Amino acid sequence: MTHDAIIIGGGHNGLVTACYLAKAGLKTLILERREIVGGGAITEEFHPGFKCSTLDHTPGPVAQQVLSDLNLLGHGLEFITPDARVLSLTEDGRALCIYNDTQRSVSEIEKFSAKDAKRYPEFIDSFAKIGAVLAPILSLTPPSIDHPTANDAWQFGKIGLAFRGLGKTDEYRLLRWGPMAVADLVAEWFETEVLRATVAARGISGSFAGPWSAGTSLGLLLQAALDANPIPPATFVKGGMGELTKALAAAASASGVEIQTNAEVIRIDTNEANEAKVVLSDGRELKARAVISNADPRTTFLRLVDPLDLDPNFLLKMRNYRASGTVAKINLALDGLPKFKGVDDEKKLAGRIHIGPEIDYIERAFDASKYGDFAKEPYLDITIPSLSDASLAPQGKHVMSVQVQFAPYKLRNGDWNSRAQEFADTVIEQLNRFAPGLKDLVLSGQVITPLDLEQTYGLSGGQIHHGEQALDQFFTFRPLIGWAQYRTPLKRLYLCGAGTHPGGGVTGLPGANAAREIVKDFKAKRV
């Protein structure tokens, strides 16, 4: 045995876990199947001179505690925050720009509705307050349903007190909103369709759900807990998301973590009493006191562990864990900056650009995926990171990064290999409707389908969050009820990725929470 802990996967959560374990004195090894670490948070050159965050647009955001504990700014991480947060385009050529600054946003919303402009500050304020109450839950280990501890009771007591501090109106809102369809929630606040759709879209990001699906407000509340704002964030990492995981890898190496790339684990074996073993695709066998999987739960339990090692009841539940992707990604190298209809100032393009002008537009895009097809008029979440980061494209040229929803993992007709070009053409056609002439600017494109997400990036079912984020796969239910404390039915095997609480997004929180539990077990000599 050469290491105390072996981490399968060098995604950002695996790296975060590794850093904390090494800081606690554990000799830690990361095995990453790809040639680079980073998982979803990577930057790659996809056309000569053009680079962008291959998958993610922006960090979740990363938890402050993680940033400071691991001194990521000291390891080269830099953020860029443009003033504009989201620019939402409409069919009739008007564009609504939401800024980080509430008053500036109010002036923009006023052009659409005086009533909405008046309500917007209260909406933002309410989410900020509710987000502050929910935020501590994200850093907690969910309590065990069967064996809650005194510490669980203490933590919940503190959250209960904060909840009481919200005052009656926001208390009531928090309790009522969680199970609601996000379309209903936004309709209670605003009359402007494009504003409703912009807010609602945050609740369904990466989900197999449309804005009219029950429980989608939970998605919005979870996001609000991360950054106290219902509007999607537009803080970029300088150099793309890969620079974030490079800083994490540097922090890990500085703490003594060993990182091996091109090292795919094909089997986890925990049958020996005093050690766990992983088998690699190159035939090597490595042993440690604990193995921690940053791979998603379905990959971990349905591909890497021998089914005979698991209780059939657990296996059945894991087979029912929902992880079917709905997102595809297209990265474009552009010969210049496209001109979007109704946009008078290019600074407004520097945050996210939202094409999904109405709630029903987004719902129709979801409908297609329910029936096994990609949307002909997809909801597009776009960024042009080269507008604020010149390192990503040659001068005068740009990169456009487009997240496309909905693109179901399983197509009813044909498959992703045969339909990727048709899909890309559909997306570019739709972009061109909102930015006439864009088609002629495209020098090259990278199309990443849900199948590519599975095959190249290791995401089971192409699910970007390692599993659907819904009420039944959340908190004490993530990934499964009874197994939400980062431990698994196999004594020496742990989980640390986005398939654990608090789920997907580049926050570092699952990794940090998992590390806390693993260190506890090492200290108590349970492994």
Ligand X SMILES: Cc1cc2nc3c(=O)[nH]c(=O)nc-3n(C[C@H](O)[C@H](O)[C@H](O)COP(=O)(O)OP(=O)(O)OC[C@H]3O[C@@H](n4cnc5c(N)ncnc54)[C@H](O)[C@@H]3O)c2cc1C
CB of 341 to ligand X, least distance (A): 25
- Here's the x/- map for ligand X, 408-447, by CB under 6 A: it reads as ----------------------------------------
CB of 206 to ligand X, least distance (A): 7
CB of 188 to ligand X, least distance (A): 27
DSSP, residue by residue, 467-523: S--SGGGSGGGSSSTT--SSB-SSTTEEE-STTSTT-SSS-SHHHHHHHHHHHHHHH
Mark the segment that binds ligand X (CB under 6 A) among 97-105, 122-130, 392-400, 499-507.
Answer: 499-507
Enumerate residues 1-40 that contact ligand X by CB under 6 A.
8-14, 31-34, 39-40
CB of 362 to ligand X, least distance (A): 17
Of the candidate residues 106, 174, 220, 265, the single one contacting ligand X (CB under 6 A): 265
Residue 207 has which token pair?
């989900």
Q: Which CB sits closer to ligand X, 38 or 109? A: 38
Farthest-apart Cα atoms in the chain, separation:
68
Mark the segment that binds ligand X (CB under 6 A) among 108-116, 365-373, 468-476, 500-508.
Answer: 500-508
- Could you say whether residue 497 binds ligand X (CB under 6 A)? yes
Cα Rg, the chain, nearest whole Å: 22
Q: Is residue 83 packed enough to be buried (19+ CB in 10 Å), middle (13-18) or exposed (0-12)? A: middle
CB of 165 to ligand X, least distance (A): 29
Contact of 221 with 177, CB cutoff 8 Å: yes
Number of helices (H), then strands (E), belonging to the chain: the values are 17, 18
- Could you say whether residue 138 binds ligand X (CB under 6 A)? no
Report the DSSP pairing between strands 265-269 and 327-334: unpaired
- Could you say whether residue 237 binds ligand X (CB under 6 A)? no
CB of 430 to ligand X, least distance (A): 18
Q: In sequence order, what are the beta bridge partners of 460?
A: none
Residue with tokens 């509430």: 102
**9/11 Cα distance (integer angstroms):** 6
Q: In sequence order, what are the beta bridge partners of 41?
A: none
> What residues contact 320, with CB distance under 8 A and at least 6 apart?
none
Q: Which CB sits closer to ligand X, 126 or 460? A: 460
Omega before 408 within 30 of 0, i.e. cis: no
- Here's the x/- map for ligand X, 368-397, by CB under 6 A: it reads as ------------------------------
8-state DSSP, 192: -
Which residue, among 443, 440, 434, 457, has the nearest Cα to 382 in the 3D structure? 434
Q: Which CB sits closer to ligand X, 41 or 180? A: 41
Q: Which CB sits closer to ligand X, 14 or 356? A: 14
Of the candidate residues 133, 237, 250, 327, the single one contacting ligand X (CB under 6 A): 327
Of the candidate residues 138, 318, 464, 515, the single one contacting ligand X (CB under 6 A): 464
Q: Which CB sits closer to ligand X, 64 or 169? A: 64
Residues near ligand X (CB under 6 A), total? 39
Enumerate residues 46-75 that contact ligand X by CB under 6 A.
55-60
**484/245 Cα distance (integer angstroms):** 25
Q: Which CB sits closer to ligand X, 198 or 299? A: 299
Where b means 16+ CB within 10 Å and e means fewer, 108-126 reads bbeebeeebbebbeebbeb
Residue with tokens 């789920």: 503
- Could you say whether residue 478 binds ligand X (CB under 6 A)? no
Q: Which CB sits closer to ligand X, 10 or 240? A: 10
Contact of 8 with 237, CB cutoff 8 Å: no
Which residues are at the interface with ligand X (CB under 6 A)? Answer: 8-14, 31-34, 39-41, 55-60, 264-265, 294-295, 299, 327, 329, 403, 453, 458-459, 464-466, 497-498, 504-506
